[in-house]
Amino acid sequence: MEKRAYEVRAKLNREISVNIIPGHFATKHSHVSHCIDMTGVKSQLGAAKAAAKLLADAFSSTPVDTIISLERMKMIGAFMADSLSHSGINLRHEIAVITPELSGDKILLRDNFIPYVKNKNVLLLTASATTGQTVQSGVHGISYYGGTPVGAAAVFGGEFDCEVPFVSLFGVGDVENYLSFAPVDCPLCKSGVKVDAVVNSYGYSKLV
């Protein structure tokens, strides 16, 4: 499967890249035609720092007290907090980065984390947001715990209606012929094409 992979670099910074693998993949919310492998940008110092800078720049005029990091994005979240605190409206501001537990798609905050969200301006950070369900659930969770959702950011994003400003480093337009379907509507499944791998925030596990 990896032999099919090819690299796509971010238009605004060539240091940032993801690997694209065509095929048939099952995610938590959908079946997709391409696996977006973000291991490098999540794990490597230079790439994570560069990605964080681009995402932070999009929110330089947005007050941010806390970044909620999902899908193993805490290193990028920490670099975002650092970048935001060195310029713009958040100059010299102490910004917290937290990773909540999840119950299904819902954010679960223990008592010790609630003070970082209640009455705070909160930015949601995730790796992938193609259907919008993760972002929508995260935004609602922030509001439920008394916070003000001020934006959402992702490495890879789709096209969906969002209640808050949303930015991503890569989009579906960067991947030729990218398709996403609800599992029950997946034409590949209906045609008998086997799923290549199950994909989540940790990566992919091959099935065939």
Torsion sign (Cα): 173, 176, 177, 179: negative
User: Which whole-number Å values give the CA distances from 24 to 20, 127, 138, 186, in the listed order?
Assistant: 12, 20, 27, 10
Q: What is the per-residue pLDDT across 37-59, written as a single tens digit (0 to 9) for each?
A: 999 999 999 999 999 999 999 99
Q: What is the pLDDT of residue 32?
A: 95
Encoded tokens for 47 = 């790439």
Coil, strand, or helix at residue 44? coil
What CA–CA distances, in Å, run from 179 to 23, 60, 175, 187? 10, 32, 9, 10
Three-state DSSP class for 133? helix
pTM of the model: 0.93
Give pLDDT, residue 29.
Answer: 85
Percent of the chain residues topping a pLDDT of 90: 88
pLDDT tens digits for range 79-127:
999 999 999 999 999 999 999 999 888 999 999 999 999 999 999 999 9
Residue 159 banded pLDDT, cuts 50, 70, 90: confident
Q: What is the pLDDT of residue 105?
A: 84
Cβ neighbors of 106 (< 8 A, separation 6 or more) are 137, 141
pLDDT at position 171: 94
For residues 145 and 170, the answer to whether their CB atoms sit within 8 Å is no
More confidently predicted of 200 and 63: 63
